[in-house]
A and B are shown apart, each in its own frame.
Chain A
Amino acid sequence: GNSVTQMEGPVTLSEEAFLTINCTYTATGYPSLFWYVQYPGEGLQLLLKATKADDKGSNKGFEATYRKETTSFHLEKGSVQVSDSAVYFCALRGGNYQLIWGAGTKLIIKP
């Protein structure tokens, strides 16, 4: 079946550090891939997406590239800020149109 695996957190970085949060998936076919972010006390919101192989999603300085050969969709940002502290969820949309979610990775940015 479809599944999403994310790196365990929390990930703690200093401000302006480079960020990578790993996400790999198992799926039949070529699912759409997403990163959602959950800020403290809020619901999840879509951060970026990619719908086919080699697509790069980007938003708010974050990027992720759909890598079919490695079944990965790693989230990156060149210089993180304290305001990026949140929980980040990787997800895929399966054949039945339901979203399959990773466990989430908590990111803590220290000033």
Chain B
Amino acid sequence: NAGVTQTPKFRVLKTGQSMTLLCAQDMNHEYMYWYRQDPGMGLRLIHYSVGEGTTAKGEVPDGYNVSRLKKQNFLLGLESAAPSQTSVYFCASSYVQGAETQYFGPGTRLLVL
């Protein structure tokens, strides 16, 4: 089992460019999450999904969109990247909502110039 994988590992964007981050999990988890991690701050929830075809806003959803067309995949999109979106993005999944154990991917480091 690969667990939770994220693509790409690192990306540099120019302001205004768009991109999609891909998260995939092979554990048949219902719940998936996108977080961002910034220096001196804890992880902040961007969006989450409680099942295939569903998405919901987290703490910091502005500037991001998500889709969960397949149960195993959770995509995070940036339509028009801004320097404030420079961060490390983590995807996670769990069996149930707010499960005690969330399984994390290795992260995507994004730099927006």
Contacts and interface: CB of A to CB of B under 8 A. Distances in A.
A7 interface: no
B51 interface: no
B49 to A, nearest CB: 13
- Per DSSP, are chain A's interface residues mostly helix, strand or loop, or mixed? strand
- Per DSSP, are chain B's interface residues mostly helix, strand or loop, or mixed? loop
Interface in B40-76: 40-45, 48, 58-59
B1 interface: no
Name the residue among B41, B43, B98, B102 with the largest chain A CB count within 10 angstroms: B43
Nearest to B102: A99
B90 A103 contact: no
Q: Classify chain A's interface size.
A: 20 to 34
Interface string A68-111: 00000000000000000000010101001111111110000000
B100 A89 contact: no
A103 to B, nearest CB: 5
B90 A32 contact: no
A41 interface: yes
Contacts of B92: 43-44
Contacts of B102: 44, 46, 99
B104 A98 contact: no
A10 B43 CA distance: 18
Q: What are the nearest 6 A-B pairs in CB distance?
A: A97-B98, A101-B42, A43-B104, A101-B43, A44-B104, A97-B97
Given A97-B97, A98-B45, 7 more contacts: A4-B42, A43-B92, A93-B100, A97-B98, A98-B59, A99-B45, A103-B41
Interface of B: 4, 40-45, 48, 58-59, 90, 92, 97-98, 100-107
